[in-house]
């Protein structure tokens, strides 16, 4: 069982990740002005803007791909932080908080989405902060592509397709040319639904499903043998309950089912450093 000191690294990890994401987004926005190469110029390409505005869907945000991703990441971060704090500080569920680390870890692979639409200069500055090299950025209408190498020379690629009208983004991550992760989210009437499908190094597969509504939300975790159906944006606010493992916060009410099948239900009291 975690002691108070042992729980702290888990919560610090969540906070550090959120800080990195926020910092990268700020740098990306700052890099927009000087960028001229690979920059999305709707004024010079009215046909591109018209193409994006005419895409089907509801609840449109009217923002850019990077702004949309930032809003979704912020919503996800709030719910993840609350769920982690609840599990870490409730007697008997401290170890269960480790299940949420995987949901956070995939954000590092999705960081290039924070500069979609901001141009090549912003991509180089932002990804350079995490040690990326040989950054190549490209965009074509609502499609984005970022390639780079890590400090060990491994090649990463993130492909993204943004639907402005529906305020949805689908990203596919390739590592050394092999598809490794597919992440998507859609804006809904209550907030967001999200889905992350990935393949581990050993070939095992996993899926995370999210429903976010302000400070409330639910995250489901399952192992998968087949590719899940794409999100439609019409999913119910409790659709992650279809997963084997799930955790939910609604106000101060925490409920869930752990990886070993234990049912949880308790009143959440935020910790002093939550």
Domain ranges of the chain: 4-267
pLDDT average, residue stretch 46-51: 36
Q: What is the pLDDT of residue 271?
A: 86
Report the alpha-carbon distance of residue 25 to residue 41 in Å, rounded: 20
Q: Which residues pair with 216 in a beta bridge?
A: 213
Alpha carbon of 149 to those of 15, 116, 177, 219: distances in Å?
Answer: 26, 18, 12, 31
For residue 206, pLDDT over 60 is answered with yes
Q: Give me the helices (H) in 43-180, please.
A: 46-53, 65-89, 101-109, 120-128
Alpha carbon of 260 to those of 82, 124, 208: distances in Å?
Answer: 22, 43, 17
Residues 134-170: tens digit of each pLDDT: 999 999 999 999 999 988 899 999 999 999 999 999 9
More confident of the two residues 255 and 8: 255
Say what the pTM is: 0.78
Cβ atoms of residues 205 and 198 within 8 Å: yes
Cβ atoms of residues 123 and 135 within 8 Å: yes
């Amino acid at each position: 069982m975690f002691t108070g000191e042992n729980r702290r690294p888990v919560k610090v990890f969540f906070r550090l990740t959120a800080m990195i994401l926020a910092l990268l987004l700020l740098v990306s926005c700052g890099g927009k002005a000087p960028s001229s190469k690979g920059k999305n110029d709707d004024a010079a390409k009215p046909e591109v803007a018209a193409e994006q505005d005419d895409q089907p869907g509801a609840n449109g945000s009217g923002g850019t791909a990077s702004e949309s991703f930032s809003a979704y990441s912020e919503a996800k971060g709030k719910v993840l932080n609350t769920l982690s704090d609840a599990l870490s500080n409730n007697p008997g569920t401290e170890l269960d908080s480790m299940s949420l680390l995987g949901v956070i870890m995939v954000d590092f692979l999705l960081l290039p989405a924070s500069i979609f639409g901001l141009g090549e200069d912003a991509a180089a500055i932002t990804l350079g902060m995490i040690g990326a090299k040989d950054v190549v950025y490209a965009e074509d209408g609502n499609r984005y592509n970022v390639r780079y190498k890590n400090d060990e020379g491994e090649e990463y690629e993130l492909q993204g397709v943004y639907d402005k009208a529906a305020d949805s983004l689908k990203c596919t991550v390739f590592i050394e040319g092999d598809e490794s992760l597919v992440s998507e989210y859609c804006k809904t009437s209550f907030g967001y639904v999200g889905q992350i499908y990935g393949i581990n190094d050993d070939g095992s597969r996993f899926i995370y499903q999210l429903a976010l509504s302000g400070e409330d939300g639910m995250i489901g975790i399952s192992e998968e043998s087949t590719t899940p159906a794409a999100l439609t944006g019409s999913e119910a606010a409790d659709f992650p309950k279809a997963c084997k493992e799930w955790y939910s916060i609604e106000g101060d009410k925490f409920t869930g089912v752990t990886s070993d099948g234990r049912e949880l239900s308790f009143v959440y009291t935020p910790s002093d450093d939550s």
